[in-house]
Chain A
Amino acid sequence: MTTSPEPRRGRKPDRVDVCIVGGGASGATAAKVLTEAGARVAILERGPWLKPKDFSPDELANVNRFYLTPDPLLHPRTHRASADEPARVSRFSPTPFIVGGGTAHWTGWVPRMFEEDFEMRSRHGEVAGADLADWPISYADLEPYYDKVEWSLGVSGDAGANVHEAPRSRGYPLPSLPQTRYAKRFREGCEAAGHGSFQMPIAMRGKPFGGRPATLQSAFVQTMGDPSGTRGGAAQTFVPDAVATGRLDLRPDCYVRELTAGPEGAVTAALYEDAEGVLYEQEADVFVVACNAIESARLLLLSTSAAFPDGLANHNGLVGRFLTLHEYTEAIGVFDGEPLYPWAGGGYISAGTADFYATDPDRGFVGGGLIAAGSAGFPLPVNWSLPEKPAWGAEAKRIDREYFNHSMSAGIVLQDLPQATNVVDLDPDVRDAWGVPVARVTHRAHPNDIAQANWLVDRCGEILDAAGATKVWRNYIDSITGNAVHQHGTLRMGEDPEASVVDAACRSHSVANLYVVDGSVFPTPSGVNPTLTIMANAWRVAEGIARARSAT
């Protein structure tokens, strides 16, 4: 590591009411709510603010060359399975580092969490080796905010089609999108196997809604930026809403190195470096951390002070613990007959079933997960694959030709269990290109995770068999690799200051002007895609901040 010269200091920007670190799904939601409530907000976003004209249908750049996601040569992370082995540099859970965050590359699956997901400890008690906890809020507390987010983004879906769904105050703003062939085939399989199914609610608009245009349907969606600017992501919706108030100052390419705390422990400023390497101090009344669970924990651990020698808000040593990640795995099938076009609409205009979501003690594990249709491996030509396909030669080419349009998956979102030993901390050896210690992930799957995943994979295989697949592969797992790019749990929300990092308002138990709005606060991860819940919770927390401000 070369020593950098002492960085230049820039003139202090004007103090703001609220400083948000991170311009992704949760930060943008909080910014919308706070600016619309009259607050002056600065967002400090480490990555660039790419606009539709900066994106393209370029699989190579987006998927293989880190156009949106952290390049491990610049932003490495390290990973190990346990504390007694060395951590290796890894591209672990690569959420995009750009304005929009995870929603810059998502397709937009937005199922709500189920009622039981908020009560895992009460319902299942002590599970050996796991650290289950109830959420300090219930589904009913969050329901109004689910509704606000769905109606702000313009979600398409069929209320009630998922018979296991929790009560809703009203339906979706838009009907389901036209069905894809792979979703139809999946639903046929579910029906033949005796399971219910529904079209997956999705943050895409089949027609203009709420002043926003219909979503253009492309094959280049999953893991790709949006050149049309019409998808339901944070950068296409909540960022422009906040900008329209005139009270948002969104500063891209501004890397927050630490939050500085005063002698009393309250945060005084965010110390950040801009693209030219100049250091600035942003002062604010309230600071909101919204960097996603791995980077939010890292930022607090980097922010040491006399009051918090082990990291900001880390009064009990729990910052970084209970990391949960989900995991994707699936059964993959190939089909004769009509092509499935598994890239249409980006490969994930999908259908799912929640028949295997609720816990059944007879199965020998806690929890369950959504099963839904998708492509085999990845829906685009470069990265598509089938199990057992050779890496080269005539046979590999034949398989590409015969099955690219005739394959699909039924896949799962694994509901993994929190464990105190699954931790994000600072790597003692590895630094990023800015010379700052990187996040080290220590994570080992719980036996319950593996049992649940592989039982669900068998159900996926049965659905594809019932749908008429000529051959089915079941991709069993023996570890969690971070491939879902979902992150939760590192700054746990709870009532007890000794057992959690933030309270039910997502305010630090020990730092009065510090809030967290991303997935870090999830005590348990549920078995559904987290972003809708992250946005709904960020909306709830931001309303609380706005209310507290107006009360003073």
Chain B
Amino acid sequence: MDTALTPQERATLEAAMARVIPTDEHPGAREAGAIDWLERYLAGDAVYAKPDGSGFQTLTGRLADAWERRIATLRERYRTGAAELDRVAGERFGARFAELEGERQDAVLAELERGATLTRERTQAAILEDELPFFALLALHTRQAFYSDPVYGGNRDQVGWRHIGFPGPATMADALEDRYTTDDYLA
């Protein structure tokens, strides 16, 4: 599988994700490995984890075709978006996005956000990534990377889950083998 992003695109997007979920007294998107989550997703071979967490399912037939189309579209949107971040950063501050300090990065992101319709959802789950403009996609995927099962490459050492106090399973296999319950969290 090709590398999904060039080194510069990767650096730009990693910096942008680190502003979507910034590092404060708790780890943020950078420490969670969100960029690895994204690169793995955009490479196209990490759509569905195997239920026991031992790698990823191989898709076939129409399902494989659909996901190939979807991810090709997303990859293009990220390439264009990363270029746009660097272009705006260059115009306003004379440097690449990744080289700016945090507040200036936020100013660039806010400029891109203005063009994007963000869904301030009570229906996160209903959001279709196929239709999202770049900035909304970046915000959605950073959240997915930070809080999804670590098997997908983000939420490293469960930093996302620990940040909010969610006791997820140690591995996905725990749920298959009935070792994972929430019985300790009742009234």
- Which of these binds chain A: B7-15, B75-83, B85-93, B165-173? B165-173
A84 within 8 A of B: no
Chain A residues near B24 (CB, 8 Å)?
A: 394, 397-398
Q: Cβ of B51 and Cβ of A55 under 8 Å apart?
A: yes
Q: Cβ of A385 and Cβ of B49 under 8 Å apart?
A: no
Q: Cβ of B49 and Cβ of A61 under 8 Å apart?
A: yes
Chain A residues near B69 (CB, 8 Å)?
A: 73
Chain B residues near A397 (CB, 8 Å)?
A: 21-22, 24, 26, 28, 163
Docked pose: A481 CA to B126 CA in angstroms? 10
B187 within 8 A of A: yes
Given contacts A52-B176, A392-B21, contact A178 B186 (CB under 8 A): yes
Docked pose: A53 CA to B53 CA in angstroms? 11
Q: Cβ of B22 and Cβ of A54 under 8 Å apart?
A: no
Q: Cβ of B66 and Cβ of A433 under 8 Å apart?
A: yes
A54 vs chain B, min Cβ distance (A): 6
- Which of these binds chain B: A9-17, A20-28, A213-221, A509-517? A213-221
A448 within 8 A of B: no
A246 within 8 A of B: no
Q: Cβ of A56 and Cβ of B51 under 8 Å apart?
A: yes
Given contacts A383-B125, A385-B124, A404-B164, contact A57 B172 (CB under 8 A): yes
Chain B residues near A383 (CB, 8 Å)?
A: 124-125
User: A54, A59, A65, A179: which contacts B47 (Cβ < 8 A)?
Assistant: A65
Interface residues in B21-43 by Cβ distance below 8 A to A read 21-22, 24, 26, 28
Docked pose: A155 CA to B181 CA in angstroms? 20
B121 within 8 A of A: yes
| Chain B contact patch, size range | 35 or more
Chain B residues near A179 (CB, 8 Å)?
A: 186-187
- Which of these binds chain B: A336-344, A520-528, A530-538? A336-344
| Chain A contact patch, size range | 35 or more
Question: A342-362 interface mask toward B, CB cutoff 8 Å, 1 = contact, 0 = none?
Answer: 011110000000000000000
Docked pose: A130 CA to B49 CA in angstroms? 47
Interface residues in A468-525 by Cβ distance below 8 A to B read 475, 481, 483
- Which of these binds chain B: A38-46, A312-320, A374-382? A374-382
Q: Cβ of A72 and Cβ of B164 under 8 Å apart?
A: no
A62 vs chain B, min Cβ distance (A): 9
Chain A residues near B136 (CB, 8 Å)?
A: 391
Question: B87-123 interface mask toward A, CB cutoff 8 Å, 1 = contact, 0 = none?
Answer: 0000000000000000000100100010000101111
Q: Cβ of A217 and Cβ of B182 under 8 Å apart?
A: yes
Docked pose: A95 CA to B168 CA in angstroms? 26
Q: Cβ of B161 and Cβ of A392 under 8 Å apart?
A: no
Q: Cβ of A385 and Cβ of B122 under 8 Å apart?
A: yes
Docked pose: A394 CA to B109 CA in angstroms? 13
Q: Cβ of B182 and Cβ of A381 under 8 Å apart?
A: no
Chain B residues near A53 (CB, 8 Å)?
A: 51-52, 176
Chain B residues near A67 (CB, 8 Å)?
A: 48
Chain A residues near B1 (CB, 8 Å)?
A: none
Docked pose: A227 CA to B52 CA in angstroms? 10
Known contacts A56-B50, A341-B182, A393-B19; 17 additional CB pairs below 8 A are A57-B174, A58-B48, A71-B63, A73-B70, A73-B130, A178-B186, A180-B185, A180-B186, A183-B187, A184-B187, A377-B121, A377-B123, A382-B147, A385-B121, A387-B120, A400-B163, A404-B164
Q: What are the nearest 9 A-B pairs in CB distance?
A: A381-B147, A56-B51, A404-B164, A73-B66, A341-B185, A344-B185, A383-B124, A392-B20, A60-B148
For this complex, 11 residue pairs linking A to B, each with C-beta atoms less than 8 Å apart, are A58-B149, A59-B147, A74-B66, A184-B187, A218-B180, A227-B176, A378-B125, A396-B21, A404-B166, A405-B164, A481-B123
| A residues whose Cβ falls under 8 Å from a Cβ of B | 52-61, 63-65, 67, 71-74, 91, 178-181, 183-184, 216-220, 223, 227-228, 275, 329-330, 332, 339, 341, 343-346, 377-378, 380-385, 387-389, 391-394, 396-398, 400-401, 404-405, 433, 475, 481, 483
